[in-house]
Structure 1
Amino acid sequence: MQSFIQYRKFKHAVEAQLERKGRLADESAEKSSPQPGQTYTPEPSGREKDVEKGDAEFEGDPSSPHPHEHLHAPYGVRPGEVAAVRRSSVPREAEETMMATNRPQGEVEPPYRPGGSSNDDEGEDDDDDDELMRQRSSLAATLSPQASGNTRLGRMLTGVNIRRRSTREGGDGDVFVVGYEGADDPLDPHNWGFGTRVRCTLIIAAIGCVVGIASAIDSSVVRRVAAEFGVGEVAASLGTGLFLIGFGAGALFAGPISETVGRNPVYIVTLILYMIFIMAAGLAPNFGAWLAFRFIAGVFGSTPLTCAGGSISDLWRPMERVWTFPIFANAAFTGPLLGPVAGGWIAQSRTLSWRWTEWVTLLVSGVVLGLVVLLQPETYPPTLLKWKAAHLRALTGDHRYRAELEIRRESFVHRLQRALWRPFLLTTREPIIVLISLYLTVVYIVLFGFLDGYDYIFGQTYGESPGITGICFLGIIVGLFGASALVLVIYKWAKHDLQKIQEQGGDKLPPEFRLWFSMLGGAFAIPISLFWMGWTARPDISIWSPLAASVLFGYGILCVFISCYQYIIDSYETYSASALASITLIRYVASGGMVVASIPFYQNMGVAYTCTILGCISAVMVPVPYIFYRYGPWIRKHSRYAITHTSKA
């Protein structure tokens, strides 16, 4: 619904822009219209020319001392603002492009000669330039006023960059690359109202929360599932494990597809399919069908894990993401922790079937899907500019208007194949991806290992019921929200550092700044909490001791998650969704395996040694954020996909 309304808004905005600029184009057309005695030859009415593949037309106004001054105007520069630019300041490539653009069809390009003349080595003088200008003036007089008017209008539209299409882009004609009108264009999601952007962020966070609930809620009813289907508890835990593995597999598709068709179609379609298979899991007649439906539901439920980071980047500028990204991070981790809270009471109930874990998930997911359909607009900039370009083509009849996404004119299948291959490419070639993946994998192995491990830590050690054991997960949630207090400190530091960078000519913080969340105790908090919990979860020590350790664990995992995700987004920018897909695959496949292995692990090793082993593994990963903070710029410099420096103002 919101996307449809948004599409109409783009049409109205384009109509308003054309109306403003059309007056200027008409005035210019009157000045360049043929005088009495001059004629022009109209285009044959039956011929449909491909303006993008070489049917170039005269671009300049012969009455202007610099007839091409607007052809390569910078983004957002209005006609007339570059009139003072001298021809000698135009790079050779731009000069050759402009010469080719205005050359009549069939005319051979003269060799380039510095100073504006040609054939200097053959001894010809500058009179050739005067003759060339006379030919261009004559050509302008014989062209259709409407044809030259279209080009003149394209040059006048702010945010439209006229350039030549390269051969690899499918042609050598002109293309009008459509962008936003300027930094303050209200169509840009970064410039939407504060309330609108907060609403969109909360909806994205809600999607992350609800699929997180689905990933963990079945872990509380393992024993009842095993009893109904006649399998062991380890086999029954596959319902959660396969859902998580499906998360990882689906991430390979959700992220790249969102970079091809936009965010909203992916959110809506995958949420519908995810809900269908959650319902199928609730109706599963046998154990094999239940496992299959849980896996497929996980595949379609992975959308927010890879697309949400990109959506937040679409809505908020880097400085604003210091405090907005933790909103999504809290929701993403709260979901898997709320699942056992609800599932524990269902497991304890004598009247509710274990299948109510699926029905509760389905009901909550339906509410979130309704919010997405009714209230969530499209945020992906290439898609929005594609809409704008489509409106410009329809309203002007000029098919040279193209969004950057459309210039190559590739098929959807070809673009999708390239996008799907990119996560594998990043995983094998990027050390940043490898190390961050290992770091988050350790965190998630511990987190999802607790889904079954909490029954041993709190249920068997302290004799708590399934419902109370589920409530013990709230300790981790308290730690999550406690970590959000760091936002105030880090935001203050970010403003101070950004001011220094702007004084030096830059305009944004380096990706390494995002690592402060981990370096401010988050990296150390995880192993400390595991050692603490493992060696104090004993009947002779109060239950409040392991609960306090769980609070510290929650603080640590949120800090690490925020640092890793934002570092990836800032380091890879355009390819961030593909980079996050790589990380999601690795950590969720490992987490799914850990869920299945955690039952025999806790049974055979005991709580103390299991937590100690996990604490030692996490301790090895503590230096990772400090290594990236120190050597991150050097690593990015040698990367093929990561950005290498902050952009200049």
Structure 2
Amino acid sequence: MSQEQSRDEIGSHFLLQSDSQTPVQTPSRHASPTPVRHTKTTPTRLSTNQRSTADSASPQRSLQLQENAYEHDLHADLHWAINPCNPRNWTKRKKWMHTMLFCIISWAIMLGASSMTLAHGVIKNQMQTSSIVAVLPTSVYLLGLVLGFFSTPSAESIGRKSMYIISAPLYAIFILASGLTNSMSGLAICRLLAGFFAAPALQLGYASILDIWTVENRVLPIVAYTSTIIVGSTLGSVLSGAIMWRQHWRWTQFAILILSSLFFGAMFFTDETLKTMISRKGWKETSKLSLVRGLVKNESVRPWLVFFSEPLTLLCGALNAFYFGILFAILTGFPDVLSQAHHFNAGAQGLTFLAMSVGALLALIMELCHQQWCYEPRAFRYKEEKKRKTWIPPSTSPPPEWRLWLALPASALNVASLFILGWTTHNHWMATVIAMAIYAFGSSLIAVSTTLYVLECFNSSQQNEGMWAGSSILTYAFGFVFSLFSTEELKLGPGLGMSVYAVMSILFGTIPAVLYIFGAALRKRRKDRGSK
């Protein structure tokens, strides 16, 4: 009897723990049964407003609980690592197909930025405007890129592929309108809006490459993507000269429309690379307020603020922006100089700018050779030395400052090339061609080196996307200002105008050396500040 009573007590104890709100008492075997009273309950009637509120809130509440459960799932990272939809688990062929498409799209967008540089003189005469107003179609395109980078955070809510598909037709529409308009104001507005809708593709291409490639394998794709932006900017002037030699200036826009339509159309056959969007496909429901919530509260906005508050990123961004601004000052201002000094027509002027494209391509080859035969062997020896000293395989790469090796001599090359470009213009056209090639070579090396440097200073992909966006905003803002006033500045003389840029380059050229010497200390200060 005592054993049976003890079992009954244990059972009642577990029943009490299982439901604390309705305690259950297990009667003993000899206790008299308690009569059960049946009470009539009336259902509570909800008002129409309460019923609609409850019905609308329950799906949103359940979706929010599902999303929170996924975000806090301890095995979510493991599931993503082995997920076949993870872009990093794609085949190498598929990765490179997507990467090359992103590079080509960025190349086509920057081709459109400089596609009207050799049409300024014709537009000035046809529309009876001043030199500064005639440059507006090129300058406001860069201004549109600046403004368009503020719309890219919405991609975190609708996906990178969806953002491509939305922005591409709008870009094509305004490029077409630029070629059809007959007024200067209409041309400037259409070019501004075309640049605005082209900016998301530049940002998302870089972000998609970070989604696809791991830290160990992303150097070559990043180098290729950064180089295509400079190559596209210089080839746009070559295309402009070839078209202006035989056709009307409107065909500079029609040619860009044809190229961009082909490349943007290929985006329909690509796959999504954003992790949150791929994971969201697993849910049966989607939140109607996801886009609004992503626009109002988006984590990708914060790194932009970090860019302007971090000395490392701000210095690298200012350096690239300055050299990019000079690049567009040369592209917009030197056609008149070449016409006056050597009586070049539009076709010959375009071929002159081909030297800058060659210089940028040589910089790409130089960077790849340096990565293969200089950086990687030294990085391997660095890790082996660390392993020998600590008996533990090192988990970190060499110092990020190693990425600045090529930027140090490239800064000196840029200063020399600007002096040569300014003071030998009236001597022989070959000197101008060589100086342009050297400048594009040095600027490309600096752009690639500083991009890789910032990429290794910040490990988070989201932070790197924000840093790229902040740097791009500064870069295209400099391009807008420098290109707008380049023709007026060069009226003082190419020697004096380029000398001003060369002297400023001496100041900006010290930035790689400063980062190489004090970069480790600045990174340590950032980590200490973050730990506090």
Please indicate the TM-score interval, normalised by the length of the shorter structure: 0.7 to 0.9
1:173-192 residue CA offsets vs partner (Å, 9 max, x unmatched): 97565335475654332232
RMSD: 3.1
How does the TM-score come out when normalised to structure 1? 0.65
What residue in structure 1 maps to residue 406 of structure 2? 517
1:188-245 residue CA offsets vs partner (Å, 9 max, x unmatched): 3223222111111110011111111111111211122222322122211111111101
Matched, 1:497 2:384: no
Matched, 1:575 2:455: no
Q: What secondary structure sits across from 2:171 in the alignment?
A: helix
Native 8 Å contact 1:270 1:300 kept in 2: yes
CA gap of 1:105–1:640, structure 2 versus 1, over 3 A, is farther
What residue in structure 2 maps to residue 477 of structure 1? 357
CA gap of 1:259–1:430, structure 2 versus 1, over 3 A, is farther
Following TM superposition, by how much is the alpha carbon of 1:527 offset from its aligned partner in structure 2, in angstroms? 1.2
Native 8 Å contact 1:284 1:290 kept in 2: yes
| Residue of 516, 524, 527 corresponding to 1:637 | 524
Task: Give the letter for the 2:405 counterpart.
Answer: W
Following TM superposition, by how much is the alpha carbon of 1:424 offset from its aligned partner in structure 2, in angstroms? 4.8
- In the alignment, the residues of structure 2 paired with residue 414 and residue 537 of structure 1 have an alpha-carbon distance, to the nearest angstrom, of 56
Following TM superposition, by how much is the alpha carbon of 1:271 offset from its aligned partner in structure 2, in angstroms? 1.6
Task: Give the letter for the 2:376 counterpart.
Answer: A
- Which structure shows the higher helix fraction? 2
| Residue of 264, 273, 279 corresponding to 1:369 | 264
CA gap of 1:217–1:441, structure 2 versus 1, over 3 A, is same
What residue in structure 1 maps to residue 484 of structure 2? 596
What residue in structure 1 maps to residue 234 of structure 2? 337
Native 8 Å contact 2:80 2:86 kept in 1: no
Q: How does 1:148-167 map to 2 (within 5 A)?
A: none
Between 510-519 and 585-594, report the one with greater CA deviation. 510-519
Following TM superposition, by how much is the alpha carbon of 1:435 offset from its aligned partner in structure 2, in angstroms? 1.2
CA gap of 1:461–1:180, structure 2 versus 1, over 3 A, is farther
CA gap of 1:194–1:509, structure 2 versus 1, over 3 A, is farther
| Residue of 553, 558, 561 corresponding to 2:447 | 561
What residue in structure 2 maps to residue 542 of structure 1? 428
Matched, 1:613 2:500: yes
What residue in structure 2 maps to residue 241 of structure 1? 139
What residue in structure 1 maps to residue 347 of structure 2? 467
State the identity as a percent.
22
- In the alignment, the residues of structure 2 paired with residue 486 and residue 171 of structure 1 have an alpha-carbon distance, to the nearest angstrom, of 45
CA gap of 1:104–1:458, structure 2 versus 1, over 3 A, is farther
| Residue of 253, 264, 275 corresponding to 1:381 | 275
Task: Give the letter for the 1:475 counterpart.
Answer: A
- In the alignment, the residues of structure 2 paired with residue 514 and residue 527 of structure 1 have an alpha-carbon distance, to the nearest angstrom, of 21
Between 499-508 and 591-600, report the one with greater CA deviation. 499-508
Q: Give the gaps of 5 or more residues in structure 1.
A: 1-102, 108-165, 645-649
Following TM superposition, by how much is the alpha carbon of 1:410 offset from its aligned partner in structure 2, in angstroms? 8.3
- In the alignment, the residues of structure 2 paired with residue 357 and residue 215 of structure 1 have an alpha-carbon distance, to the nearest angstrom, of 11
Between 487-496 and 587-596, report the one with greater CA deviation. 487-496
- In the alignment, the residues of structure 1 paired with residue 405 and residue 437 of structure 2 have an alpha-carbon distance, to the nearest angstrom, of 20
What residue in structure 2 maps to residue 426 of structure 1? 306
Q: What secondary structure sits across from 2:191 in the alignment?
A: helix
What residue in structure 2 maps to residue 187 of structure 1? 85
Task: Give the letter for the 1:383 counterpart.
Answer: M
- In the alignment, the residues of structure 1 paired with residue 70 and residue 222 of structure 2 have an alpha-carbon distance, to the nearest angstrom, of 43
- In the alignment, the residues of structure 2 paired with residue 177 and residue 380 of structure 1 have an alpha-carbon distance, to the nearest angstrom, of 19
Matched, 1:486 2:367: yes
Q: What secondary structure sits across from 2:517 in the alignment?
A: helix
- In the alignment, the residues of structure 2 paired with residue 318 and residue 332 of structure 1 have an alpha-carbon distance, to the nearest angstrom, of 22
More relative contact order in 1 or in 2 (CA 8 Å, sep 6+)? Answer: 2
Native 8 Å contact 1:517 1:563 kept in 2: yes
Native 8 Å contact 2:307 2:314 kept in 1: yes
- In the alignment, the residues of structure 2 paired with residue 422 and residue 174 of structure 1 have an alpha-carbon distance, to the nearest angstrom, of 22
Following TM superposition, by how much is the alpha carbon of 1:301 offset from its aligned partner in structure 2, in angstroms? 0.9
- In the alignment, the residues of structure 2 paired with residue 174 and residue 545 of structure 1 have an alpha-carbon distance, to the nearest angstrom, of 62
Following TM superposition, by how much is the alpha carbon of 1:358 offset from its aligned partner in structure 2, in angstroms? 1.0
Q: How does 1:188-227 map to 2 (within 5 A)?
A: 188-227=86-125
CA gap of 1:183–1:176, structure 2 versus 1, over 3 A, is closer
Q: What secondary structure sits across from 1:218 in the alignment?
A: coil
- In the alignment, the residues of structure 1 paired with residue 160 and residue 525 of structure 2 have an alpha-carbon distance, to the nearest angstrom, of 31
What residue in structure 2 maps to residue 47 of structure 1? none
Equivalenced residues, count: 460
Q: Give the gaps of 5 or more residues in structure 2.
A: 1-16, 22-63, 388-392
CA gap of 1:172–1:522, structure 2 versus 1, over 3 A, is closer
- In the alignment, the residues of structure 1 paired with residue 328 and residue 263 of structure 2 have an alpha-carbon distance, to the nearest angstrom, of 24
Matched, 1:228 2:126: yes
Following TM superposition, by how much is the alpha carbon of 1:458 offset from its aligned partner in structure 2, in angstroms? 2.4
Matched, 1:628 2:515: yes
1:7-28 residue CA offsets vs partner (Å, 9 max, x unmatched): xxxxxxxxxxxxxxxxxxxxxx
